[in-house]
Structure 1
């Protein structure tokens, strides 16, 4: 005889999590974490392509960052809520630096890089520790409009610190699915310009 699993509070339904990284930042190319900069939402073909891929989400949650709000508006979406815990990683003293002005950290493993905290900022691990509980609390298919760090935090639930090696282009989609407490990656970095 096979015992039936009785429903309890730890059972979770299957769900799909789609994360859209916001449109490119203005000014592009500099470190942008917590600075609230605008997005360039002028690539209408890319926006239209992603809008078609998104379909009609049952729930839309966005970071309160201006660039995420502008991206949602450009897609014709009204977020159900703005979630402050989805803000990008705080890069501290690295904010607004051009890539050639960033310090050389030497050779670090993904785990070491995930733990590294820029002066007056937060590490990837710090950021993931605030983002992942939000992701795990979702109870139905959801679209998030957020940041590259949010995407990598989600990927880290499956691949750990190796998530830092994934490219996450502006206006790209990443899709994960969950069954009970098991997460799987369906797609990463589906770009709007392709």
Structure 2
């Protein structure tokens, strides 16, 4: 089974931490990715506006919107200017994955909601979702070190499963669409 996760198009935002804020996407150029997407795969999408807009720009008809695919809830950090985020200092990946901002979920919490969905997939799947969703998928292979991966807008990450074992085929594939 092959899992392809496409991060949504760039957010039309205000230069602040997004998390679960439901902001629109700039889908200009997204259509260039369409020929490179897997054919015949089921399509799942995060309910976020930016993900639904990206899917529509690619002429994808999602089989369903899946609430488990929402981006990480960053609680009190959502809406803050990036320069107002607290300095957590150097944290090992495991500690960073467990860190939970006030009123938020940790990366581990988010992965605990995303990973069971991914493990339950039984056929080739294309997901349109978030950077956090991509990192949660990568964590099935590399654990909390997944937090170190770059995930650009309109990039694809591909994993393969043989039996219960997952392998990373490719990460952060960009085709100049962004």
- TM range, normalised to the smaller chain? over 0.9
Could you tell me which residue of structure 2 aligns to residue 193 of structure 1? 176
Could you tell me which residue of structure 2 aligns to residue 37 of structure 1? 23
Return structure 1 stretches of 4+ with deviation > 3 angstroms.
none
Q: Are 1:133 and 2:116 counterparts?
A: yes
Residues 137-173 of structure 1: CA distance to partner in whole angstroms, max 9, x if unpaired? 0000000000000000000000000000000000000
Query: Which structure would you say has the larger Rg?
Result: 1
Q: Shift of residue 31 of structure 1?
A: 1.2
> 1-side partners of 2:118 and 2:66: how far apart?
11
> 2-side partners of 1:29 and 1:163: how far apart?
24
Change (3 A) 1:141 1:28: farther
> 2-side partners of 1:111 and 1:76: how far apart?
39
Q: Secondary structure at the match of 1:25?
A: coil
Q: Secondary structure at the match of 2:169?
A: strand
> 2-side partners of 1:28 and 1:48: how far apart?
24
TM-score (norm 2): 0.96
Could you tell me which residue of structure 1 aligns to residue 140 of structure 2? 157
Report the aligned-residue RMSD.
1.1
Counterpart contact for 1:57–1:143, Cα < 8 Å: no
Could you tell me which residue of structure 1 aligns to residue 76 of structure 2? 93
Q: Shift of residue 28 of structure 1?
A: 5.6
Q: Secondary structure at the match of 1:120?
A: coil
TM-score (norm 1): 0.88
Q: Are 1:80 and 2:66 counterparts?
A: no
How many matched pairs? 177
Q: Shift of residue 59 of structure 1?
A: 0.3
Could you tell me which residue of structure 2 aligns to residue 27 of structure 1? 13
Could you tell me which residue of structure 2 aligns to residue 144 of structure 1? 127
Q: Secondary structure at the match of 2:27?
A: coil
Residues 27-78 of structure 1: CA distance to partner in whole angstroms, max 9, x if unpaired? 0642111111111111x2xx23321110424200000100000000000001
> 2-side partners of 1:48 and 1:82: how far apart?
20
> 1-side partners of 2:161 and 2:5: how far apart?
14
> 2-side partners of 1:33 and 1:135: how far apart?
21
Structure 1 segments unaligned to the other structure (5+ residues): 1-14
Q: Shift of residue 86 of structure 1?
A: 0.5
Counterpart contact for 2:55–2:61, Cα < 8 Å: yes
Counterpart contact for 1:62–1:69, Cα < 8 Å: yes
Counterpart contact for 1:25–1:37, Cα < 8 Å: yes
